Structure 1
Amino acid sequence: MTTVTSAVLQSVAEDFLAAYTTGEPITPPRETIPGLDLAGAYRIQQLQEEAFTTQGRTVVGRKIGLTSLAMQRQLGVDSPDFGFFTDDLVYHQGANIKVDQFIAPKVEPELAFILAHDLPADASFEQVAAAIGSTHLAIEIIDSRVEDWNIALVDTVADNASCGAVIIDPNPIDVPTADLPGVTARMLIDGELAGQGSGADVMGHPLAPLQWLATTLGEQGVGLHAGDIILTGSFCGAAPVIAGQHVEIDYGPHGTLSASFS
Structure 2
Amino acid sequence: MTDQYQRMADELAAAYRTRRPVAPPRTVIDGLDVDGAYRIQQLTEAAFTAAGQRIVGRKIGLTSAAMQQQLGVDSPDFGFFTQDMVHRAGEPIAADQFIAPRIEPELGFRLGSDLASNATFDDVVAAIDETYLAVEIIDSRVRDWDIRLVDTIADNASCGAVVIGGSPVDVPVDQLPSVAAAMRVDGELTGEGTGAAVMGHPLEPLVWLAGVLGEQGVTLRRGDLILTGSFCAAAPIAPGTVVEVDYGSLGTLTTSFT
Q: Same fold (TM over 0.5)?
A: yes
Q: Show CA shifts across 1:208-258 (max 9, x none).
A: 111110111111111101100000000000000010110010000000111
CA distance in 1, matches of 2:232, 2:63: 10
CA offset at residue 133 of structure 1? Answer: 0.4
Confirm or deny that 1:143 pairs with 2:133: no
Q: Aligned equivalents of 1:31 and 1:240: distance in 2?
A: 26
Cα RMSD between the aligned structures? Answer: 0.7
Aligned to 1:103: 99
1:156 corresponds to: 152
In 1, distance between residues paired with 2:18 and 2:9? 14
Q: Which residue of 2 aligns with 1:173?
A: 169
Superposition deviation, residue 207 in structure 1: 0.3
* In the alignment, structure 1 residue 248 sits paired with structure 2 residue 244: yes
Specify which of 103, 119, 122 is matched with residue 123 of structure 1: 119
For residue 249 of structure 1, what is the amino acid of its counterpart? V
1:223 pairs with 204, 219, 222, which one? 219
Distance of 1:202 and 1:151 partners within structure 2:
21
When normalised by structure 1's length, the TM-score is 0.97
Residue in 2 that maps onto 1:62: 58
Query: Please, which of 14, 17, 28 is the counterpart of residue 32 of structure 1?
Result: 28
Deviation at 1:21, TM superposition (A): 2.2
Runs (5+) with no aligned partner, structure 2: none
Give the drift of 1:109.
0.2
In structure 1, the residue matched to 2:110 is 114
Residue segments in structure 1 that go unaligned for 5+ positions in a row: none
CA distance in structure 1 between the partners assigned to 2:187 and 2:13 by the alignment: 35
Following TM superposition, where does structure 1 have runs of at least 4 consecutive aligned residues deviating by more than 2 angstroms?
A: none
Equivalent residues, number: 258
Q: Which amino acid aligns with 2:248?
A: G
Paired with 1:144 and 1:91, the residues of 2 have a C-alpha distance of 19
1:239 aligns with 2:239: no
Residue aligning to 1:14: 10
